[in-house]
């Protein structure tokens, strides 16, 4: 039989959907799942355009290299050059030892950290490339070493952790 | 006579079992996605976050604050002029390049096509930044060596 004392709104009644409020709340962002690190396709470029290029900036000074990388990134945005990726390579630490004047013991002089930032661009036209190089060179700060080269798979692999067990097993299998 | 037969069977079975185990291990390792090496630059060392040392600066006098604000405005103007000059320079370069290419096209189509093509010898391009103090000519450095102490991460 029909339920008495029930406050359900029927779909035909004007009170249908009277208690709805979730549509008024801000949308919840779904939880981010860990994205697998996969290599993106490397484009080779056409005859009039270069493919994926890496602008690598290396220096002992972190602030300089970071700011220079930001400047280059903004410059590329302003000149409407597509920037694929802008990342940092792992830091390298070097201990510099020198031989004392009197004695045979090596003394620790300094601990130097080398920082490297990479900006990856795509579709640089052949006529604009020398202009871009000229601008970057004229704004190069002191002590920052600039290197521009084409992006390869080896460059991407150098960012990943080494897997000695996997390599051992592969060597044993073959 | 039975013994050599047993050895063969047992060996073959053991080898097969070993191979399967290795294949399973390989599959498991390959399933795990490769990870990027963490970058030490972006990880603040703990000793800077746990300390209680807080710097207390002396209060500024109004003249000093005024002077600083005016200096900031002058610096902003200087930087704006510098940026505009750079943009102007880029524009001029591009325009003159386009004009030159137009003239070249009118002169000879072949040369124009060859000029438009990309230069394979341009990359890789390397350049050292300018230095405050170039190396001294007659300097005799002490003997020493450089050891690479970068932390090696394995997965």
B144:A93 CB<8 A: no
B126 in contact with chain A, both atoms CB, cutoff 8 A = yes
Q: Å from A28 to nearest chain B CA?
A: 28
Residue in A closest to B20 by C-alpha: A173
The torsion of the CA quartet B21, B26, B29, B34, rounded to 10 degrees, works out to 180
**pLDDT confidence of residue A45:** 78
What digits encode the pLDDT tens for the residues A36-49? 777 788 887 788 88
Dihedral over Cα of A8, A13, A19, A24: its sign: positive
Residue in A closest to B128 by C-alpha: A145
Cα A55 off chain centre by: 12
Chain A and chain B share a number of CB contacts under 8 A equal to: 153
Whose structure tokens read 């601990």? Answer: A111
Q: Which three-class secondary structure string do you get for A107-174?
A: EEEEEEEEEEEEEEEECCECCCHHHHHHHHHHCCCCCCEEEEEECCHHHHHCCECECHHHHHHHHHHC
Sorted by where each begins, the domain ranges of chain B are 72-116
B131:A50 CB<8 A: no
B90 in contact with chain A, both atoms CB, cutoff 8 A = yes
**pLDDT confidence of residue B25:** 83
* pTM for this model (two decimals): 0.79
Query: Best of B21, B104, B123, B126 to disrupt the A interface by mutation (most A CBs within 10 Å)?
Result: B123
**pLDDT confidence of residue A97:** 86
Q: For residue A97, list chain B residues with Cβ-Cβ distance below 8 A.
A: 144-147
To which H or E segment does residue B61 belong? none
The side-by-side arrangement of strands in the sheet containing A82-99 is: B125-127, A145-150, A52-59, A106-122, A82-99, B144-148
What digits encode the pLDDT tens for the residues B58-99? 888 999 999 999 999 999 999 999 999 999 999 999 999 999
Q: For residue A174, list chain B residues with Cβ-Cβ distance below 8 A.
A: none
CA angle, residues A122, A124, A125, in degrees to nearest 5? 145
A91:B129 CB<8 A: no
CB burial readout A73-109, b (16+ within 10 A) else e = bebbeebebeebebebbbbbeeeeebeeeeeeeeeee
- Of residues A129 and A32, more confidence is placed in A129
Is the Cβ–Cβ distance between B130 and B122 less than 8 Å? no
**Domains defined for chain A, CATH in brackets:** 51-161 (3.30.70.600)
Distances A4 to A7, A13, A136 between C-alpha atoms, Å: 9, 17, 80
Q: For residue A140, list chain B residues with Cβ-Cβ distance below 8 A.
A: 127, 129-130
Phi, psi of B71, rounded to the nearest 5 degrees: -65, -40
Q: Å from B61 to nearest chain A CA?
A: 31
Cα separation of A79 and B87, whole Å?
10
B97:A127 CB<8 A: yes
A131:B90 CB<8 A: yes
B139 in contact with chain A, both atoms CB, cutoff 8 A = no
Average pLDDT of every residue of chain B: 86
* Residue A1 confidence (pLDDT) above 50: no
pLDDT tens per residue, chain B (155 residues)? 555 566 666 788 888 888 888 888 888 888 888 888 888 889 888 888 777 777 888 888 999 999 999 999 999 999 999 999 999 999 999 999 999 999 999 999 998 988 888 888 887 889 988 888 888 888 887 788 888 888 888 87
Is the Cβ–Cβ distance between A148 and B125 less than 8 Å? yes
**pLDDT confidence of residue A69:** 94
Is the Cβ–Cβ distance between A101 and A85 less than 8 Å? no
Q: Give SS3 for B27.
A: helix
């Amino acid at each position: 039989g029909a339920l008495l004392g029930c406050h359900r709104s029927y779909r035909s009644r004007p009170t249908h959907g009277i208690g709805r409020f979730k549509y008024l709340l801000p949308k919840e962002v779904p939880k981010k799942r860990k994205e697998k690190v996969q290599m993106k396709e490397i484009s080779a470029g056409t005859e009039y355009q270069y493919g994926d290029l890496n602008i690598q900036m290396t220096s002992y000074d972190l602030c300089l290299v970071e700011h220079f990388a930001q400047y280059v990134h903004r410059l590329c945005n302003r000149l409407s050059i597509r920037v694929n990726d802008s990342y940092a390579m792992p830091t390298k630490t070097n201990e510099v030892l020198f031989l004392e004047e009197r004695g045979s013991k090596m003394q620790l002089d300094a601990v130097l950290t080398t920082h490297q930032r990479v900006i990856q661009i795509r579709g640089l036209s052949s006529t604009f490339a020398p202009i871009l190089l000229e601008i970057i060179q004229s704004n190069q700060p002191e002590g920052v070493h600039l290197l521009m080269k084409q992006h390869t798979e080896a460059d991407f692999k150098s960012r990943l952790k080494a897997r000695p067990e996997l390599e051992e097993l592969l060597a044993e299998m073959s | 006579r039975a013994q050599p037969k047993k050895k063969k069977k047992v060996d073959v079975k053991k080898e097969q079992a070993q191979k399967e185990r290795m294949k399973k291990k390989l599959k498991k390792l390959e399933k795990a996605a490769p990870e990027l090496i963490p970058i030490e630059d972006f990880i603040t060392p703990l000793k800077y976050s746990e300390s209680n040392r807080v710097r207390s600066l002396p209060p500024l006098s109004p003249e000093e604050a005024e002077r600083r604000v005016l200096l900031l405005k002058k610096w902003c103007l200087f930087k704006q002029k510098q940026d505009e000059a750079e943009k102007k320079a880029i524009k001029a370069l591009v325009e003159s390049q386009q004009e030159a290419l137009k003239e070249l096209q009118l002169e000879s189509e072949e040369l124009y096509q060859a000029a438009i093509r990309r230069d394979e010898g341009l990359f890789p391009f390397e350049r050292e930044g300018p230095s405050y103090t170039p190396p001294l000519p007659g300097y005799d450095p002490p003997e020493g060596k450089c050891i690479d102490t970068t932390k090696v991460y394995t997965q």
